[in-house]
């Protein structure tokens, strides 16, 4: 059974899917989650606090999927291809993930730059304190994916091969984002996996 916080985040995300963030009302989010408005404010502090939590939740969910893809069975190319496929799926399914990874924000979404200052004192809820620290930038997410890829796929590589692996992972992610932003032509691969495998096979030091 989800916690009150999880239910509120799910309700807020569902509301955002059908209405622009500026017109999403806290009272409606609380009602959809079947919790009191006081509980909502206890968890997030304000609507801006809820927005920051939504952004952090989207980033964390995406990174959890990256770790799952990198931990899947197969050689380096297969696991990076799985990461690319997950990135395409996540960016197409979740507008917040797409914006966090690309830096392209629509007017429908809560934008980190437009959120008000964090209320002091800091939230008593640890998860909210983390959310209030700010959403990751696209560069932050790219670096975090690269760090996870190197940690998962290192397998005792010498330093120069680890550097090549990090560069290959960055290229793979950028290819995946290009598929997310610009759909392939009719008949082309939907997630870029064949192209990713080709990149990995050709990249010096990155092939298994």
In this prediction, residue 176 carries a pLDDT of 84
Condensed to tens digits (0 to 9), the pLDDT of residues 50-102 reads 999 999 999 999 999 999 999 998 888 889 888 988 998 899 889 999 999 99
In this prediction, residue 194 carries a pLDDT of 75
In this prediction, residue 178 carries a pLDDT of 83
Domain limits, the chain: 60-106+134-202
Tell me how many degrees the CA angle 142-145-147 measures, rounded to the nearest 5: 110
* Ranges under pLDDT 50 in the chain: 204-208
In this prediction, residue 160 carries a pLDDT of 78
In this prediction, residue 205 carries a pLDDT of 41
In this prediction, residue 62 carries a pLDDT of 97
In this prediction, residue 177 carries a pLDDT of 86
In this prediction, residue 190 carries a pLDDT of 66
Of 93, 206, 84, 89, whose CA–CA distance to 150 is shortest? 206
């Amino acid at each position: 059974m989800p916690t009150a916080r999880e239910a509120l985040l799910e309700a807020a995300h569902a509301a955002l899917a059908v209405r622009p963030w500026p017109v999403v009302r806290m009272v409606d989010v609380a009602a959809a989650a079947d919790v009191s408005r006081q509980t909502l404010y206890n968890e997030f502090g304000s609507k801006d606090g809820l927005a920051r939590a939504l952004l952090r939740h989207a980033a964390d969910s995406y990174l959890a999927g990256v770790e799952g893809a990198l931990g899947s069975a197969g050689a380096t190319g297969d696991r990076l291809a799985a990461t690319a496929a997950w990135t395409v799926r996540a960016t197409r399914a979740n507008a917040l993930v797409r914006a966090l990874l690309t830096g392209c924000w629509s007017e429908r979404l809560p934008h980190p730059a437009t959120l008000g200052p964090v209320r002091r004192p800091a939230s008593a809820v640890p998860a909210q304190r983390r959310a209030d620290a700010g959403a990751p930038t696209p560069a932050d997410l790219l670096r975090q994916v690269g760090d996870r890829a190197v940690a998962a796929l290192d397998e005792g590589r010498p330093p120069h091969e680890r550097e090549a692996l990090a560069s290959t992972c960055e290229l793979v992610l950028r290819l995946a984002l290009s598929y997310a932003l610009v759909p392939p032509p009719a008949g082309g691969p939907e997630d870029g996996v064949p192209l990713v495998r080709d990149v990995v096979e050709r990249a010096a030091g990155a092939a298994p």
